[in-house]
Structure 1
Amino acid sequence: MAEPLIHGDPGLQPERTTLAWARTTVSYAVSSAILLRWLPHFGPFVIALICLMVLTALGIYASQRSRHQAAVRGLSVGRVRAQTGSVLTMTLGMVVFGVSGIILILTT
């Protein structure tokens, strides 16, 4: 196992950000489990939505280490870059899930 990166941030900013992404992952997993209640009413569309949510949660989990390391490296050199790609991907995912839910509700 690699040696952990050290940073001098007394507020532990990278750790707080990592915990926020972990909460987001759990939220996606719980939301996909809740969608199982809609399965008898909406069928295959809900299965696709659940799979998309689970894949999004797994993607967040898989990229969490690299985001944390980038934040620690950025603090070490005094220049942290915004993770706009991750934020835009999450925003797009939430819009897709929200619109899908509205469509499911309105088409019944």
Structure 2
Amino acid sequence: MNRHRHPVPSAPLRHDDPGLQPERTLLAWRRTLLTLIGVCILFLRWIPPFGLMALLPVILSLIAGILIQIGLNARYRKSARGMTQERVAPPLREVVMLGCTVMLLSVVGVIAVVSG
């Protein structure tokens, strides 16, 4: 008797959006994640001239990227469910967090350029 249970793949969420809005939103957030990874790599180049202070934006970019990745699947399910119910709440918390991250990275970049 096999006691191991294999997870049953969940059925894809169905919605009636011919433009596939939830899929477009998911792809947009994935592009944002890739951009944050690119920013993180660019900030790694700052380590030789600026020392360990350059790790602050790297860590900030990584944390923001990890949080985006963690929320992607839940965000997609929420959006697809909202499409079937004809009511989709905007991702206000995620947008505010991303805006604050970009602002903080910009401030760190300006401080590094001015002090360097």
Aligned mates of 1:45, 1:3 — CA distance in 2: 47
Shift of 1:36: 1.3
Cα separation, 2, equivalents of 1:77 and 1:43: 52
- Indicate whether 1:81 and 2:89 are aligned: yes
Compute the displacement of 1:11 (Å): 0.3
Secondary structure of the structure 2 residue equivalent to 1:32: helix
Query: Structure 2 residue aligned with 1:43, among 51, 55, 72?
Result: 51
1:19 to 3, 23, 27: 27
TM-score, reference length from structure 1? 0.96
Unmatched segments (≥5 aa) in structure 2: 1-8
Q: What residue in structure 1 maps to residue 115 of structure 2?
A: 107
Moved over 2 A (4+): none
Query: 1:62: which partner in 2?
Result: 70
Quote the Cα distance in structure 1 between the aligned partners of 2:100 and 2:60: 12
- 1:80 Cα deviation (Å)? 0.7
User: Normalized per residue, which structure has more helix?
Assistant: 1
- Residue 77 (structure 1) shift: 0.5
Q: Distance in 2 between matches of 1:89 and 1:35?
A: 20
* TM-score normalised over the length of structure 2: 0.90
Instruction: Report the equivalent of 1:10.
Output: 18
Distance 1:2 1:89 in 2: 30
Specify the code of the residue in structure 2 equivalent to 1:90. Answer: L
Match of 1:32 among 32, 40, 50: 40
Deviation at 1:51, TM superposition (A): 1.2
Larger Rg: 2
Q: Number of matched residues?
A: 108
